[in-house]
């Protein structure tokens, strides 16, 4: 019991040892973790807390907002805005960037959030989560603009997610590997339960929404067809499939045991690069996956190299076990 390492201790020791975590960033991560605890409690209460169902509004992407999408967004804003560590925030659930009110000091960091990932699973009691990405505010004594957020994923200084499942687990990177913390509800603290997470390079598991098969591009179809052919096919092994439809849960499975996750571009919306959002879904997950030895591309390019042009822009996502991601990427490059 006494040698348990709390998130606080983990961050303090990291700050002391290698200066990976400046004071403001440490505060930011503690505050995000605290907000995730609050969201976790709301999620657990479910119908008893009156948090299920639709809020009756739409977000900038035209998705119907659930009550918990809005509650989680508000919890994250209220927890973060007064601490003096943020210059501004951006969220899936807010059309425009959120500026820190003048009554609070302005900090050095930009926080991007998917407050509640897996909205379609809220009402059916299946794992959901929160995803976050942290960037540094570019230098300059001026107001914050949307442009300041438009940095490629490789500029992130911290990224993580919290999955609200049978356990509540916070998964974090500050650029020197991936650590997992499990929420101890009695103690009210996140406890380090796995450090230096590594994803196996090979896998027999894929995660993709198969109902979109008829809309896929040829390289994706080729890869999945080969997986489905099993032992007798070119891959000479049987594959299993899982699709939770909460990116956090699907990625968490891969973090734990390997696998490949894909939400590729498809013909339903030919003018959009994909369904998932680059800045607060794909980038943080891509960095976590790379930090755990995996890979993440949009089929042609490393996700973290993509230069964003819009806050809410979308991207094709292929991530997970390195050898499988390399294979799918190769199929795209061969197709030209
Ligand atoms: P969000 O709930 O934050 O809008 O994200 C939903 C995403 C992601 O979590 C998941 O991988 C995907 O949508 C599921 O999409 P389908 O319903 O098309 O399977
Ligand atoms: Mn949504
Ligand atoms: Mn999401
Ligand atoms: Mn969301």
pLDDT one-digit tens code per residue, 15-27: 888 777 899 999 9
Per residue in 28-42, pLDDT (tens digit) is: 999 999 999 999 999
What is the Cα–Cα distance from 208 to 16, expressed in whole angstroms?
41
- List, as residue ranges, the binding site for substrate: 117-120, 209, 275
> 58 pLDDT band (50/70/90 cuts)?
very high
Asked whether the whole model's pTM tops 0.95, one would answer yes
What is the phi-psi region of residue 155: left when phi exceeds 0, alpha when psi lies from -120 to 50, beta otherwise? alpha
Closest atom, ligand 1, to C-alpha of 248: 9
To the nearest whole percent, how much of the chain has pLDDT over 70? 99
For ligand 1, atom 16, which residue shows the shortest CA distance? 245
- List, as residue ranges, the binding site: 92, 114, 116-120, 209, 275, 281
To the nearest whole percent, how much of the chain has pLDDT over 90? 95
Task: Please give the distance, rounded to the nearest whole angstrom, from the Cα atom of residue 114 to the centre of ligand 4.
Answer: 5
Closest atom, ligand 1, to C-alpha of 246: 9
246 in Cβ contact with 128 (< 8 Å): yes
Please state, rounded to an integer, the average pLDDT across all residues of the chain.
Answer: 96
| Distances from the Cα of 30 to the Cα of 35, 91, 170, 181, angstroms | 9, 19, 11, 12
Closest atom, ligand 1, to C-alpha of 92: 3
Task: Please give the distance, rounded to the nearest whole angstrom, from the Cα atom of residue 161 to the centre of ligand 3.
Answer: 11
Does residue 1 register a pLDDT over 60?
no
Sign of CA dihedral 35, 250, 117, 135: positive
237 in Cβ contact with 231 (< 8 Å): yes
296 in Cβ contact with 319 (< 8 Å): yes
What is the Cα–Cα distance from 298 to 197, expressed in whole angstroms?
23
- List, as residue ranges, the binding site for Mg(2+): 92, 114, 116-117, 281
Structural Rg of the chain based on CA atoms = 19
Q: Within 6 Å (CB) of ligand 1, which residues are found?
A: 63, 92, 114, 117-120, 209, 245-247, 263
Bridge partners, 262 (sequence order): 318
For residues 109-145, b (16+ Cβ closer than 10 Å) or e, as one string?
A: bbbbbbbbbbbebbbeeebbbbbbbbbbbeeeeeebe
Phi and psi, residue 108, nearest 5°: -95, -5
164 in Cβ contact with 41 (< 8 Å): no
Does residue 141 register a pLDDT over 90?
no
The DSSP call for residue 305 is G
Q: Quick one: which ligand is closest to 215's CA?
A: 1
Task: Please give the distance, rounded to the nearest whole angstrom, from the Cα atom of residue 131 to the centre of ligand 4.
Answer: 8
For ligand 1, atom 6, which residue shows the shortest CA distance? 118
For ligand 1, atom 11, which residue shows the shortest CA distance? 247
Q: Quick one: which ligand is closest to 212's CA?
A: 1
Task: Please give the distance, rounded to the nearest whole angstrom, from the Cα atom of residue 89 to the centre of ligand 2.
Answer: 17
Residue 282, token pair as written in the block = 């794909």
Those residues whose beta carbon sits under 5 angstroms from the ion ligand 4 are 92, 114, 116-117
Q: Mean pLDDT across the stretch 232-254?
A: 98
Residue 96, token pair as written in the block = 């425009």
pLDDT of residue 17: 81
pLDDT of residue 2: 65
């Amino acid at each position: 019991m006494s040698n348990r390492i709390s998130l606080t201790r983990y961050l303090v020791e990291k700050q002391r040892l290698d200066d990976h975590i400046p004071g403001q960033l440490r505060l930011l991560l503690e505050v995000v973790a605290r907000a995730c605890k609050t969201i976790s409690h709301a999620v657990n209460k479910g119908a008893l807390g009156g948090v299920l169902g639709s809020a009756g509004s739409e977000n900038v992407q035209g998705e119907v907002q659930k009550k918990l999408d809005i509650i989680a967004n508000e919890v994250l804003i209220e927890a973060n805005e007064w601490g003096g560590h943020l210059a501004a925030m951006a969220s899936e659930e807010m059309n425009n960037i959120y500026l820190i009110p003048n009554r609070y000091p302005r900090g050095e960091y930009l926080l991007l959030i998917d407050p509640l990932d897996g909205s379609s699973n809220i009402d059916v009691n299946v794992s959901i989560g929160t995803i976050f990405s942290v960037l540094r505010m570019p230098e300059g004594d001026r107001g914050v603009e949307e442009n300041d957020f438009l940095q490629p994923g490789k500029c992130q200084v911290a990224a993580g997610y919290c999955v609200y499942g049978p356990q509540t687990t916070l998964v974090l990177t500050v650029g020197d590997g991936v650590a997992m913390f499990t929420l101890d509800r009695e103690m009210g603290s996140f406890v380090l339960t796995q450090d230096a997470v590594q994803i196996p390079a090979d896998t027999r598991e894929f995660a993709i929404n198969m109902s979109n098969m008829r809309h896929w591009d040829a390289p994706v179809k080729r890869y999945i067809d080969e997986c489905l052919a099993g032992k007798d096919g070119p891959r000479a092994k049987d594959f299993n499939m899982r699709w939770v439809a909460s990116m956090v849960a699907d990625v968490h499975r891969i973090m734990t045991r390997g696998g490949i996750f894909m939400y590729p571009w498809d013909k339903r919306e030919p003018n959009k690069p994909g369904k998932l959002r680059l800045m607060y879904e794909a980038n943080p997950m891509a960095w976590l996956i790379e930090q755990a030895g995996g890979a993440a591309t949009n089929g042609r390019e490393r996700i973290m190299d993509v230069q964003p042009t819009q806050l809410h822009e979308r991207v094709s996502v292929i991530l997970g076990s390195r050898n499988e991601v390399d294979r799918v990427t190769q199929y795209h490059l061969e197709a030209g």
